Chains A and B, each alone.
Chain A
Amino acid sequence: MDFPFLKEAVTGLFTKSSCAMYPAVPSEAAPNYRGRIVYHPDKCINCMLCERVCSGNAITHTIEKTDEGDKITRTFYLGSCTFCATCMDFCGHGAIEFTRDYHMIATKEEDLMVSGSFIKKPPVKKPVPPKPAAAPAAAPAPKAEEKDAEACKPDKPVEAPKAEAAPVAEVKPRDDGKPVQDPAKCVYCTLCAKKCPAGALTVDRAAKTWVLDEDICVGCGTCAEACPKKAILI
């Protein structure tokens, strides 16, 4: 009688098992594994780019008014996350981090929520630099919002406006994803500067200048969205 696999069957009894003995031997995820999200609210500037790029609508925020400013709580629902890390890639300030922790087991929905909150202080009102002609001209009936926008403008010397060479010249969007202004359409309403979460834009209504601080800008596109004249290309 022939037993073709007898040798393998006997040796198999004494060799080590080839499976991953998981609960007994703990296993670590691969180096770039994208697991549980860690949120650093202290680095966040609330540009909301992560919420806009999230394909699973996993990121939400709530705003609570406090005495010190707006308390913004951002929540990541891991039960709706695809762990694509697009939010991390788009975050210019490194406020979102993916860890290698894959143990995301919950019996309640709250266990899968990762949240953090920070207080966004209102812009510091700096004294309006003395302007000979502009200030009285705008004085008669300025709206409260406009007043704020002018007041929060920093009083450093304004750089030369960028794309003001020829009003007829066509403005092309930049390659690096940062905004560019179309001077032909811009009415210098300062809405973009007010909406900018990073405070990278300085718009002067009187002098008709639009200056972008490229080091601060994260390219979130909030200014282009806020612009009523569609004068910002991104």
Chain B
Amino acid sequence: MFKNLIKESTGKSPWLFHINAGSCNGCDIELVSVLTPRYDAERLGFKLTGSPRHADIVVVTGPVTAQSLDRVLRTISQVPEPRCIVTMGSCPQSGNVFRGSYAIAGPLSKYVHVDVDVAGCTPKPEAVIDGLALATKILAEKRGQME
């Protein structure tokens, strides 16, 4: 009985962990606006956590700089399976205007499997909510496969 309860509630309320991999802070501000009362993703069950070990969805912003690469990978490896990695903005997908710089180790998809890309520079909060909703669906699929 408890297992069913946990299964249902974890599916309805995925917890987010946000990694800034050298972002310009534009995407970070938009992610905060998604979680705060204007768009209030918490009414849909998304909750920001302070620890990667509690997270289901990892949101990565920024072009993955050479300095942050090791930290990003170490943080992501601490997130328990099943996990869903969402890239937010153009930077983690391609490097954007920073592409070709000696300080950029990205794109993120070179190192880990990325589940959802939310394009835009920066994406609108509505687009982020859509991306997180898609990530929840992928998470449910992954959870089903693990059982």
| A binding-site residues for B, Cβ under 8 Å | 18-20, 22-23, 27, 29, 33, 35, 55-58, 77-83, 102-107, 109, 111-112
30 contacts between A and B (CB under 8 A): A18-B37, A23-B44, A29-B124, A35-B120, A55-B97, A56-B96, A57-B100, A78-B90, A79-B90, A79-B119, A80-B93, A80-B94, A81-B96, A82-B96, A82-B97, A83-B121, A102-B126, A103-B127, A103-B130, A104-B123, A104-B127, A105-B116, A105-B118, A105-B119, A105-B127, A105-B134, A107-B115, A107-B116, A107-B138, A109-B117
Partner of A19, one of B39, B120, B133: B39
CB distance A20 to B90 under 8 Å?
no
Complex interface bits, B21-39 against A, C-beta within 8 A gives 1, otherwise 0: 0000000000000000111
CB distance B99 to A57 under 8 Å?
yes
CB distance B94 to A79 under 8 Å?
yes
CB distance A82 to B90 under 8 Å?
yes
Q: How many residues of B contact A (CB 8 A)?
A: 33
Whole-angstrom CA separation of A112 from B120 in the bound complex: 10
CB distance A22 to B96 under 8 Å?
no
Whole-angstrom CA separation of A33 from B120 in the bound complex: 11
Residues from 78 to 124 in B contacting A, C-beta threshold 8 Å: 90, 93-97, 99-100, 109, 115-121, 123-124
Instruction: Look across to chain A and name the residue whose beta carbon is closest to the beta carbon of B92.
Output: A79
Tell me which residues across on chain A come within 8 A of B44, comparing CB atoms.
23
Instruction: Look across to chain A and name the residue whose beta carbon is closest to the beta carbon of B96.
Output: A56
Given A104-B120, A105-B118, the answer on whether A56 and B97 have CB atoms closer than 8 Å is yes
Residues from 125 to 147 in B contacting A, C-beta threshold 8 Å: 125-127, 129-131, 133-134, 138
CB distance B94 to A56 under 8 Å?
yes
Whole-angstrom CA separation of A35 from B124 in the bound complex: 10
Tell me which residues across on chain B come within 8 A of A18, comparing CB atoms.
37
Please report whether the interface of chain A is mostly helix, strand, loop or mixed according to DSSP.
loop
CB of B69, distance to nearest CB on chain A (Å): 19
CB distance B38 to A20 under 8 Å?
yes
Given A19-B40, A22-B126, the answer on whether A106 and B97 have CB atoms closer than 8 Å is no
Tell me which residues across on chain A come within 8 A of B97, comparing CB atoms.
55-56, 82
Tell me which residues across on chain A come within 8 A of B95, comparing CB atoms.
80
Instruction: Look across to chain A and name the residue whose beta carbon is closest to the beta carbon of B41.
Output: A22
CB distance B43 to A112 under 8 Å?
no
Tell me which residues across on chain B come within 8 A of A105, comparing CB atoms.
116-119, 127, 130-131, 134
Instruction: Look across to chain A and name the residue whose beta carbon is closest to the beta carbon of B129.
Output: A22
Partner of A80, one of B96, B125, B129: B96
CB of B46, distance to nearest CB on chain A (Å): 12
CB distance B117 to A79 under 8 Å?
yes
